[in-house]
Structure 1
Amino acid sequence: MATTLRMGLPVLTTSLGLLFMAGAATLLLTAQPRPSVPLVPLPQTAIVPPMTMMHRLDGEYLSVGRPVDAPRVAVTLDKPLVIMRYQVTVADYTRCVAAGACKRLDGKAARGDLPATGVSHGDASDYAAWLSASTGLRWRLPTDREWAHAAGTRFIDDARGFDGDNANPALRWLADYDRESARKQASDPAPRPVGSFGANEHGVHDMAGNVWEWTQSCLRRVSLDAAGKTTGETTNCGAYVVEGQHRAVMTSFIRNPKSGGCSVGTPPDNLGFRLVKEQRWQDRVPAGLRRLLPA
């Protein structure tokens, strides 16, 4: 009996070894980490450091019923901002159209290296949702303050220099129109390839170019009393702030600004966008471990 048992031990040991190896192989095959390569090319991004800046707030301000410039206040962004170096291009947007996630651009086909223009706020939001799903990262439109923060020294103060003693609104409107028309005439209205207007101190390109960009900031109307204290505020999320050579407001469904939609002065000719990437806690985990984390 003992001899038989001793003879069976090598066989049992070999069988257990084979079973263990087979189980380990099965585990490796079924527990492969998800591929880390995104379905679409990752956009180039710049990291804008946190800082405090003087910023003229967005919105339309009324003091005792008369238009006034929005206040210029210190605004602090307390964490780094990760934003696309370039505007979303025609080639970028076309990938979203091909995937059936974005509406086709109006007009004839344009060069792939041009900014994607003729997009509504909804189009930009659709692209952000598609890019997020395709890369596993969270992309969204910037707020007005984030855009100004990323623009740095390229941000243009849009104070309109209201004359508080002038009670005739028609004269103010004409002055606004003349100023904005002069800005447009001084610039080339045709979109240029991304990168044509250079980079700012943060490495973000074309913030002073001739393509305006959607933000996620809704139109605000703020009422002030004679002492400058806020007495009321309304928000209209059917219209959004757009940023560029000057700040404007566009209704969310506008694709071609030439048909109207700017709250003050003449509307910009070209509407495009760029996105910011939200930093998640998973993004701070080493890449080798990140692949094992749940989405």
Structure 2
Amino acid sequence: MASVFLSYSRVDRPKAQQVAAALEEEGLTVWWDKVLKAGQTYDEVTEGMLRQADVVVVLWSTVSVKSRWVRAEATLGERYSAVVPAMIEEADRPILFELTQTADLIGWDGDRTEQRWNDFVTDLRHAITRKAAKTTEQAVTARPAADTASAPVAPARSLSDDGTIENTFWMSIQSSTDAADFAAYLKRYPAGHYSDLARNRLAALEAKAKAKTPEPVIAAAPVEKAPTRPATQALARQRRLSMLALIAGGVVLLVGAGWGVSLLLPSDVEATETVAEQAMDPVEPAMVDIAEAETVARDDTLAVAETEFADAVLTEVAFVEPSEEIVAAPEPVQTGPQRDCSICPEMVAVPGGTFQMGSPDSEPGRVGNEGPVRSVTVAPFVMSRSEITYADWDACLADGGCNGYRPGDTGERGEMPAMSISWRDAQNYVDWLSGKAGRTYRLPTEAEWEYAARAGTQTAYWWGDAFDRTMVSAGGPKASSGMAENAYGLVGTLGNVREWVEDCYVNNYSNAPTDGSAVLTGSCDLRIIRGGAWSDNAATHRAANRARVSRGTRDRKIGFRVVSSDAKP
């Protein structure tokens, strides 16, 4: 008998396999690979395992929370076993399970020494112990009926007491207004207990949706709907331009004839100023419909002609929107990213300064190894604008460096961050880069990394205290060109991939240096990684978040960036 039943969406199968393998290493038996033998049906096997399991682990993800089948398994799990759910992606849990304590395995990479995993396994063992105690108690208190004639008649089971996958699924959709729910039921149970009812509901919903489909719209005359104000202004402008061409000849004649008349006027200058003053008068056009515009164009030709003549004098018949006339002040010239050589990464200058390193007790998501908060002074340095990309790494390989290691042989390369890089691999890259650039490159110290990631802020993220998924990558890594810049011009510091720093791991900052240098004592086989990766939760993306990883680990969510504090030759 499996002590753990693992419920998950098949989209999350790789993560389920990782969780199952780790649980078995903890000494637990797990039923998770839903492969059926000849003659077996999914429901009979699943229901049997659900009844026998001591605990049901439900992996909630953006897909599984919407899966009726995972919800059905979780519901039956609560009926027959204990349920211990775990979040593997940020998602809204089903309402039924909102109040159930849920483990946080978002971004967990299989490390069985991680505290979150240890807490999760502890919860599982407690649930298994409670289930065993409950089973024993039921066995002790159960009394065989000595006289079957006098035994009370068991009440008839209601529909809601029918503990089958089919019934549980039907109960969850019977009031649904989504045709896809009934289609899903019929696909699994074409001859099920509720198949006729499901077909009727499906037909009714499809008919209702068809009835709501709008009839094709026949293009109507424009006069049926008044244009917006910009459209009215554009129409008036177009008509005025057309009319200008018609009256141009007349204007020429008028000017010629008016030359003689102008001799009788007090002053040519005075007349010109009068016209200019009239033209400079701001005229706010009224909101009118097309019919009204045509009436104005037809019945007030003289007024339009005068206005057009004045506009022509001032703008030479070039009608420019006000927004186009405003010239923005030039931005101050800034020194952008620079390279030390043609195949070196882009580097950004980071000014020195003093900041508060770590997170306060009040920061949501904080863990104990992020404190105590202390003042740290960092000297100026240069840092790679983004994580080292595949293009950067491939340049090292082509030049005979990086120990010949080629990470990520599949998928997109180029400006994507180089992944599956160990701390040792990163050291090989900086050794090669130092030889090409003429100055010493290295991994950033933990203090330098946090100082650069914060970019002058003290909030949880460089953009504020609230997590904003649009500022980071999600669903997969991004090319460096697609990431938002912080105030120092760095991209990807709080997202994309996690990044190695130079420091050995210590579990707090009590004795850490305050001059921005690296910690080189403590657990030096464990090195620090910083910043969140594309599948990590909000807490992991915080500027103060830190984790420890063995320096030989090559994980697809870990990369690095480089720094130099040497003067450029």
Question: What TM-score do the two structures reach when normalised by structure 1?
Answer: 0.57
Query: Structure 2: which amino acid aligns with 1:81?
Result: F
Please name the residue that 1:219 is paired with.
Answer: 505
What amino acid is the match of 2:550? T
CA shift, 1:114, in A, is: 0.3
Instruction: Give matches, 1:1-295, under 5 Å.
Output: 40-56=342-358, 70-77=371-378, 79-102=379-402, 103-153=405-455, 188-221=474-507, 235-244=522-531, 245=541, 246-256=545-555, 270-280=557-567, 283=568
Is the alpha carbon distance of 1:44 and 1:144 closer, same or farther for their aligned partners in structure 2, counting shifts above 3 Å?
same
Moved more, 102-111 or 114-123: 102-111
2:400 aligned partner, one-letter code: G
d(CA) in 2 for partners of 1:150 and 1:114? 21
Deviation of 1:144 after TM superposition, in Å, equals 0.5
CA distance 1:191–1:199, change in 2 (3 Å): same
Go from structure 1 to structure 2 and tell me whether the alpha carbon gap of 1:189 and 1:254 turns closer, same or farther (over 3 Å shift). Answer: farther
Distance 1:216 1:46 in 2: 19
1: CA distance, partners of 2:370 / 2:546: 13
Residue 98 of structure 1 and its aligned partner are, at CA, apart by 2.3
Greater relative contact order (CA < 8 Å, ≥ 6 in sequence): 1
Equivalent-residue separation in structure 1 for 2:346 and 2:459 (angstroms): 24
How much is the aligned-residue C-alpha RMSD, in angstroms? 3.0
CA distance in 1, matches of 2:407, 2:525: 21
Change (3 A) 1:107 1:223: same
Contact 1:118 1:255 in 2 (8 A): yes
Amino acid at match of 1:213: E
CA distance in 1, matches of 2:350, 2:490: 9
**Structure 1 residue identity aligned to 2:388:** V
How many Å separate the matches in 2 of 1:206 and 1:187? 8
Matches of 1:218 and 1:38 in 2, distance apart? 29
Please tell me whether the aligned partners of residues 155 and 208 of structure 1 are also in contact (alpha carbons under 8 angstroms): no
Contact map agreement 1:191 1:210 (CA 8 A) in 2? yes
| Structure with the higher fraction of residues in helix conformation | 2
> Residue deviations 1:6-47, cap 9 Å, x none?
xxxxxxxxxxxxxxxxxxxxxxxxxxxxxxx97643322211
CA drift of 1:90 comes to 0.4
State the distance in 2 between where 1:82 and 1:235 align: 27
Contact 2:419 2:557 in 1 (8 A): yes
2:7 is matched with which residue? none
Structure 1 residue 100: deviation in Å? Answer: 2.9
Distance 1:47 1:202, change over 3 A: same
Residue identity in the other structure for 1:104: R
SS at match of 1:139: coil
Call closer, same or farther: CA 1:249–1:156 in 2, change over 3 Å: farther
Larger radius of gyration: 2
* CA distance in structure 1 between the aligned counterparts of 2:432 and 2:473, rounded to whole angstroms: 33
CA contact (8 A) 1:114 1:191 kept: yes
**Is the partner of 1:142 in helix, strand or coil?**
coil
Count of residue pairs the alignment pairs up: 190
Shift of 1:222: 5.5
Q: 1: CA distance between counterparts of 2:386 and 2:438?
A: 20
AA aligned to 1:196 is G
Deviation at 1:196, TM superposition (A): 2.1
Q: What secondary structure is seen at the aligned counterpart in 1 of 2:481?
A: coil
Change (3 A) 1:155 1:86: farther
CA, structure 1 residues 156+106, in 2 after alignment: closer, same or farther (shift >3 Å)? farther
- SS state of the match for residue 240, structure 1? strand
Distance 1:212 1:133 in 2: 26
Match of 2:334 in 1: none
Report the CA distance between 1:210 and its aligned residue: 2.4
Alpha-carbon offset, residue 131 of structure 1: 0.8
User: CA 1:54–1:118 in structure 2 vs 1: closer, same or farther (change >3 Å)?
Assistant: same
Give identity over the alignment, percent: 31
Higher strand share: 1
Q: Distance in 2 between matches of 1:86 and 1:276?
A: 11
Q: For 1:68 and 1:39, locate their aligned partners in 2 and report how far apart those are by CA, in whole Å.
A: 39
Deviations 1:246-274 (A, max 9, x none): 32111101102xxxxxxxxxxxx611111
Distance in 1 between residues matched to 2:414 and 2:509, nearest whole Å = 45
CA distance in 2, matches of 1:152, 1:187: 18
Q: Deviations over 1:46-99 (max 9, x none)?
A: 112111111118xxxxxxxxx67520011111x212111111110110121223
Alpha-carbon distance change, 54 to 129 in structure 1, aligned in 2, over 3 angstroms: same
Taking the aligned partners of 1:98 and 1:41, their CA distance within structure 2 comes to 10
Q: Which moved more, 1:142-151 or 1:46-55?
A: 46-55
Distance 1:68 1:134 in 2: 37
Alpha-carbon distance in structure 2 between the residues aligned to 1:92 and 1:69: 32
Q: Is the alpha carbon distance of 1:242 and 1:155 closer, same or farther for their aligned partners in structure 2, counting shifts above 3 Å?
A: farther
CA shift at 1:188, angstroms? Answer: 1.4
CA–CA separation in structure 2 for the residues paired with 1:251 and 1:201: 32
User: Secondary structure of 2:482's partner?
Assistant: coil
CA distance in 1, matches of 2:442, 2:509: 30
Q: Please say if residues 97 and 104 of structure 1, whose CA atoms lie closer than 8 Å, have aligned partners that are also in contact.
A: yes
Asked if 1 retains the 8 angstrom alpha-carbon contact of 2:348 and 2:382, the reply is: yes
